Structure 1
Amino acid sequence: MVNPEQYVSFDNICKNNASHIINEFAKDLKNISGKCMDIGCGPGDITRDVLLPVLNSKATMIGTDIMEDMVEYANKTYGDKERLEFEVLDIQTKKLPEKYISKFDHIFSFHALQWCYDIRQTFENIYCMLRPGKTMLILSIAQQAPLFESLETMAQDMRYASYMGDKKKYVGSFHYSARPREDLKELLEDIGFQVHHCSHREMSNCVCTEKYLSMVTSQYTFAFLNKMTHNLREEFKNELARMFTEIKVKKYRDRLGNSKLHDEKKGTNIPAQYTVLVAYAQKNVS
């Protein structure tokens, strides 16, 4: 369910990962002084507190998100008439608003594009929004078995299927790829980007499952929860937490060669492993 305040209170993982990538590319970003966009900005805290400070003081930023509630909260809480504002945008749209075309000097996106089921359209839109020769920096979850595979299974469960729709919406575009870095790089180059950096990185966290899933389900992809009865919604959340923990523990045991885990029943302190794709690319000048 969409809850901006709840999302902010649980988004330390996203914030830490964004900060790490921003610091890694700080030398390239510090001279950006034009118009920027943060795609999938959510409640806006990362846009203001992590992205904007690293840019040139003359840079301005538009945070965009598909959720009206998130954008409204972001404008009220973090909006700045001089440098920062937030607007509603579906980055997968096939009719990109004219006001965005060839208007941006740099585009960011962190922990958002994994929910885009039409990933080619997504990157084509980013390419169209950039000015010639300008750049983008993205971090997107590539593979995350506990979450994606739990949701994929639940989307085929008769209790939830009519609410969730196509199971493809819940599995990142590169989750089942044997070569996600190469696939992303080839896609970007085919669209017209000059790829300066593309990497596939292993990550992990030990965050409380309940808190993590509360953050995840506050995003647009899970708007269907609002249509469920209270009892069914709670059943869905409990089932998601159960399956998430079950897969997390299984993957962890597999990595340890099926060694016995003292806390495997609860999944306590067992890290959730996942991978991310990081890309820094430039739109061709011609």
Structure 2
Amino acid sequence: MNTEEHQRLFIHRGTFPVRGVSFGTMFKPAEYSANDQLARRETSDFIQEYSNEIGQMSGRCLDIGCGPCDLVVDSLLPVLNPKATVVCSDISKPMLDYAKEKYGANDRLSFLQLDIESPTLAEDLVEQFDHVTSFYCLHWCEDMRQAFENIFDLLRPGGSGFLTFVSDFPCMDAYKVLAAIPRYQRYMTDADRFIPVFQHAERPRESLKMLLEKVGFEVCHCSSRERIYIYETPDAFAKFMACVNPFIHRMPSDLQREYRIDLDIEARKHTFIVNKDRNNDYSILSRRHTFVVYLKKPLVH
């Protein structure tokens, strides 16, 4: 890997007008919750795979990018040590408000608005967490090194973290195509910022592991898993792509309809048609790679 690629992966992807983990559905928590079933199922599988490690997580835990908090409640809490509490954090206030309204009565949960990429982490958060989890969030970061340095600083010495996030999702390359279309250009000037940083890296797993070690972590596990998603109908796939799209909410309503159609067309170029029947009904198969990471902060650093 050359110096230029090291800088792109390890330091920063450029300066953009919006910081932090940000995407369109942060403004529509219910829509996100209704369309993230496949990712939730996959993450639940990963949690079960690492149930021994996660089951030992006790004390004060932080979940980064909790979103609507469904996954924390349904999949994480049952596996964590019963004495563990979880601070559910997200950059999005609408997401947190939705989560608090739905799960605020759970005495094992509290809520915190947090930008994991902030260059000025609040001092009262430093080394205040025994463990950190994050599921399908960190691929939205523009500055991966800052995000991981903050996770390192949030953890107490000896603390651990379990993280899953997208390594590459070919369908997101549709953003570059759509950003070049004149009617969408003004709404997609930062399109590159929403394509996972490791999307076209030659050796993504090795690059991520090197970054984590440079930050100071002991990397106990780091893998990139290919995952296959089958959407039962073309409409289900289109709804998913729209619900995670960061640009639609920026557009006027008449253009949104047109954009959704073009997004579906371009994204489908990276998918396969399966289960086609005599009525010409069919399902959509897409693939992506997901990082699965288990790490620890050394007792002495």
TM-score of the superposed pair, with normalisation by structure 2? 0.84
Bigger shift: residues 116-125 or 192-201: 116-125
Unpaired segments of 5 or more residues in structure 2? 1-23
**Runs of at least 4 residues of structure 1 off by over 4 A?**
none
Q: Distance in 2 between matches of 1:201 and 1:39?
A: 21
Alpha carbons of structure 1 residues 237 and 47: separation in structure 2 relative to 1, 3 Å: same
Tell me the secondary structure at the aligned position of residue 183 of structure 2.
Answer: coil
Aligned to 2:6: none
Q: Distance in 2 between matches of 1:199 and 1:245?
A: 27
Candidates 249, 252, 257, aligned match of 1:234:
257
Aligned to 1:256: none
Candidates 151, 166, 173, aligned match of 1:126:
151
Q: Does 1:24 align with 2:64?
A: no
CA contact (8 A) 2:241 2:264 kept: no
Q: Distance in 1 between matches of 2:217 and 2:289?
A: 23
Q: Distance in 2 between matches of 1:30 and 1:55?
A: 5
Q: Distance in 1 between matches of 2:281 and 2:115?
A: 36
Q: Does 1:153 align with 2:167?
A: no
Q: What does residue range 82-161 of structure 1 map to in structure 2 within 5 Å?
A: 82-146=107-171, 148-161=172-185
Aligned to 2:193: 169
CA contact (8 A) 1:35 1:105 kept: yes
Aligned to 1:14: 39
Q: Distance in 2 between matches of 1:46 and 1:178?
A: 31
Q: Does 1:4 align with 2:29?
A: yes
RMSD, aligned α-carbons: 2.1
Alpha carbons of structure 1 residues 184 and 87: separation in structure 2 relative to 1, 3 Å: same
Candidates 36, 51, 75, aligned match of 2:100:
75
CA offsets, 1:101-128, max 9 Å, x none? 1111111111111111111111111111
Alpha-carbon shift at residue 154 of structure 1 (Å): 1.8
TM-score of the superposed pair, with normalisation by structure 1? 0.88
Alpha-carbon shift at residue 150 of structure 1 (Å): 0.4
Q: Does 1:279 align with 2:277?
A: no
Candidates 83, 90, 93, aligned match of 1:58:
83
Alpha-carbon shift at residue 56 of structure 1 (Å): 1.2
Tell me the secondary structure at the aligned position of residue 117 of structure 2.
Answer: coil
Tell me the secondary structure at the aligned position of residue 85 of structure 1.
Answer: strand
Alpha-carbon shift at residue 177 of structure 1 (Å): 0.8
Matched letter for residue 149 of structure 1: D
Tell me the secondary structure at the aligned position of residue 271 of structure 1.
Answer: strand
Unpaired segments of 5 or more residues in structure 1? 254-260
CA contact (8 A) 2:237 2:284 kept: no
CA offsets, 1:192-221, max 9 Å, x none? 0000000111111111454345345445x6
Matched letter for residue 47 of structure 2: I
Q: Does 1:37 align with 2:51?
A: no
Matched letter for residue 109 of structure 2: L
Candidates 250, 255, 268, aligned match of 1:245:
268
Alpha-carbon shift at residue 157 of structure 1 (Å): 2.6
Alpha carbons of structure 1 residues 213 and 231: separation in structure 2 relative to 1, 3 Å: same
Q: Distance in 2 between matches of 1:284 and 1:168?
A: 34
Alpha-carbon shift at residue 267 of structure 1 (Å): 9.5
Q: Distance in 1 between matches of 2:110 and 2:127?
A: 18
Q: Does 1:179 align with 2:203?
A: yes
Alpha carbons of structure 1 residues 11 and 241: separation in structure 2 relative to 1, 3 Å: same
For these two proteins, the number of residue pairs brought into alignment is 272
Aligned to 1:257: none
Tell me the secondary structure at the aligned position of residue 33 of structure 1.
Answer: coil
Aligned to 1:258: none
